[in-house]
Amino acid sequence: MSADPKTAQTMRALRKPARGVHALVLERVPTPRPRPGWVVLDVRLAGICGTDLHIVADEFASWPPVTLGHEFTGTIRELGDGVAGWTVGQRVVCEPHALACGRCHLCRRGLAHLCSEKRSPGWGIDGGFAEQVTVPADLLHRVPETVDDVAAGLVEPLSIVITAFERTPVPPGGTVLVLGPGPIGILAVLTATAAGAGQVVLVGRPSSAGRLALAADLGVEVWDSSRCDVPDTAYARTGGRGMDLVVETSGAAEAIAEGIGALRRQGRMCVLGVPGPEPIRVPWGLAMNRAADIAFSLSSSWSSWDAALALLARGAFDPRPLASVFALTEWEQAFAATRTRSVVKAMLDPTS
Ligand SMILES: [Zn+2]
Ligand SMILES: [Zn+2]
């Protein structure tokens, strides 16, 4: 393909134009060219994440002007020099850990996803809310035949969940309480169930009634925390033991306190929910009383991506009911639906 700038093509991309501009713009930009070791993808679907709302509001660091979108699936369109092991047309998903330094103590421990130098597509470099995106080939994972595009579009949040379970494993036959019925919470419930938990409960508030109803339709046990005392109910439902594992995905102070209260002694809590800017009061004495193991999980490990694709490939559960697909041109409706939580996971389709 010609790289002549005079004949270079353009494409639509949904971009944050500048810091301090709390709005996005759908505009035409040049199509990307792959640098050595990178590929260009035709984007098939790209999910909108809560983090995208924070990026728009300058509550999460970004390097504008930049195309948003860090959760995407697509097909390989073009290979950069030196890319081996991949061919044009393959269906892939991509870890968003671009430009990790490879030299720091975290990269050398295999924790490139936590490298402070990384600049993910979607906030550090141009991302997937566009017809094409360019990414490093060594961050790609091949999508199996049996996993369709909508399911593949959910691999990034599913990898976030699996990374949490790498830190705090699901107890076989044990009890798991998940706080927050967003995409991460619902995927955590589905994964914990598939991984062999005995009893799994999802807790939410009336402000997320639609999401709780969707989870209930998927066969998930849901509790409305405005109608029950969560720790008391957890103890009553576990023969007075308390929960083996609590997964906190809400970032809300009340839910964090409820989760600690619901733990059994020496129970484990894994925290995924991103809090707001204000410090959160934590019932530290209660955590002490529970002798709790509390772990925080950030981003997604390399191994979690393969595990997510393996779970989906064997049909461990069907995550597709979580997705609502909008054309890229309908991005304002998709962002509004994310903001009001009227959908679980909005995805943009740049092909329509
Ligand atoms: Zn995200
Ligand atoms: Zn590093």
Residue carrying the six token digits 């970032």: 251
- Helix ranges (DSSP H) in the chain: 50-56, 105-108, 149-152, 155-167, 183-194, 209-217, 230-237, 253-262, 284-289, 302-313, 331-339
The average pLDDT across 143-169 equals: 98
The average pLDDT across 39-54 equals: 96
For residue 207, what are the domain limits?
169-296
Give me ligand 2 centre to Cα 142, in Å.
24
pLDDT at 285: 98
6 pLDDT band (50/70/90 cuts)? very low
Nearest ligand (C-alpha, residue 114): 2
One domain, residues 136 and 29? yes
One domain, residues 126 and 187? no
7 pLDDT band (50/70/90 cuts)? low
One domain, residues 15 and 117? yes
Choose, from 7, 31, 54, 249, the residue flagged as catalytic: 54
Q: In whole angstroms, how far apart are CA 349 and each of 44, 130, 153, 158?
A: 6, 9, 10, 19
Q: Residue 343: helix, strand or coil by DSSP?
A: coil
Phi-psi category of residue 239: left, alpha or beta, with phi > 0 → left and psi -120 to 50 → alpha: left
Give me ligand 1 centre to Cα 50, in Å.
6
Neighbours of ion ligand 1 (CB under 5 A): 49, 51
pLDDT at 352: 85
| CA–CA distance, 213 with 204 (Å, rounded to integer) | 10
One domain, residues 220 and 274? yes
Q: In whole angstroms, how far apart are CA 109 and each of 104, 113, 115, 136, 297?
A: 9, 11, 10, 20, 16
One domain, residues 327 and 225? no
> What does pTM read for this prediction?
0.96
Assigned domain for 119 exists: yes
Per-residue pLDDT tens over the stretch 227-248: 999 999 999 999 999 999 999 9
Per-residue pLDDT tens over the stretch 9-39: 999 999 999 999 999 999 999 999 999 999 9
Assigned domain for 3 exists: no
Is the pLDDT confidence value at 5 over 60?
Answer: no
- With a pLDDT cut of 90, the percent of the chain lying above it is 96
Assigned domain for 179 exists: yes
Number of other CB atoms surrounding residue 352 within 10 Å:
10
The CATH number covering residue 44 comes to 3.90.180.10
Give me ligand 2 centre to Cα 118, in Å.
7
Choose, from 51, 163, 249, 338, the residue flagged as catalytic: 51
Give me ligand 2 centre to Cα 37, in Å.
18
Nearest ligand (C-alpha, residue 122): 1
One domain, residues 141 and 17? yes
One domain, residues 148 and 235? no
| Active-site annotation holds for 54 | yes
Give me ligand 2 centre to Cα 90, in Å.
29
Assigned domain for 5 exists: no
**What mean pLDDT value characterizes the chain?**
96
| Active-site annotation holds for 87 | no
HSE-up of residue 204 (Cα within 13 Å, Cβ side): 25
Nearest ligand (C-alpha, residue 103): 2
Assigned domain for 4 exists: no
One domain, residues 288 and 314? no
Give me ligand 2 centre to Cα 300, in Å.
15
Is the pLDDT confidence value at 201 over 90?
Answer: yes
Query: How many domains does the chain contain in total?
Result: 2
Nearest ligand (C-alpha, residue 272): 1
